[in-house]
Amino acid sequence: MGLKIWLDGVLVDEADAKISVYDHGVLYGDGVFEGIRFYNGRVFRFEEHMKRLYLSAKAIVLDLKISEEELSQAVLDTIRANDLKDGYIRLVVTRGVGGLGLNPYLCEKPSIFIISSAIKLYPDEHYENGLKLITCATRRPTPASLSPQVKSLNYLSNVMAKIECIQAGALEGIMLNEQGYVAECTGDNLFIVKDGVVYTPPISDGALDGITRKVIFDLCEQEGIEIREKTMGRYDVFVADECFLTGTAAEVIPVVGLDSREIADGKPGPLSQLLVTKFRELANSTGTEIYA
């Protein structure tokens, strides 16, 4: 017996968790998702993730046909069914079964599934020694085509950029926008530190307004660290004093190089290390109780 998957209102064995080949999520990447972490029996930033899911769905005119409260309960039920205290949730909403044409209004009901499992995005040594990045040739899709705030199922540009990273022997890479400025990485937000100030690209440059990104703003305020949004190019990363990435799956991880160039002395910097520590403390001590 494998994991229990919540699928359209029923907990099923993972081998039985199946959706139709006519589902528009399969045919067209038509749907939205959230990745959510839970630590020490608590779901971290649960309400923020659920709110973003419903906003993403609204933006693409997708009615979930289930309340946020009911779906939140389903997430907790799925974690409990798998008897987990630490792990990762993938909550996916597809447009549902429809015709072979694009018309989404032929899809009568969305399909929703929830996976609750363990995850480790990067090996432990990279949190201690830092990541080395490349700049991907694949550009971040323009916000004029689809807002980066919509976490849609169509991640093909990110997948192609990830292929570039793997082929270059890197675990992650920077994606630029159409103007050539830094947007984000293939799956993470990017921050740099310069002269004691933390900077990150504004969401208007193509970055997702990530939930872990927001946590960094809170932690910087708490620690008295100045933080700003700033349009930046590769030059800004090359000459930074420090660099780090954030994401739900990645958490907070230092970066020590870009395109075979060391950032500063090629070691994780003190502010990056501080924020890694503070994030872990916060994530392991706050959140929505699972087994209360």
List active site positions. Answer: 151
Measure Cα distances from 287 to 68, 70, 135, 152, 257 in Å.
17, 18, 35, 25, 33
CA atoms within 13 A on the CB side of 263: 30
Q: Specify the 3-state DSSP secondary structure of 276.
A: helix
Dihedral angle over CA of 184, 119, 221, 180, nearest 10: 0
Q: How far apart are CA 274 and CA 112, in angstroms?
A: 38
Q: Which two tokens stand for residue 215?
A: 């946590």
Helices within the chain (DSSP H only)? 24-28, 46-59, 68-81, 124-129, 156-167, 211-223, 234-238, 270-283
Measure Cα distances from 200 to 95, 243, 248 in Å.
33, 10, 17
CA Rg value for the chain? 19
Pairing between β-strand 189-194 and β-strand 242-247 as defined by DSSP bridges? antiparallel
Helices within 106-206 (DSSP H only)? 124-129, 156-167
Residue found by looking up tokens 């930033």 in the block: 45
Residue found by looking up tokens 């830094």 in the block: 182
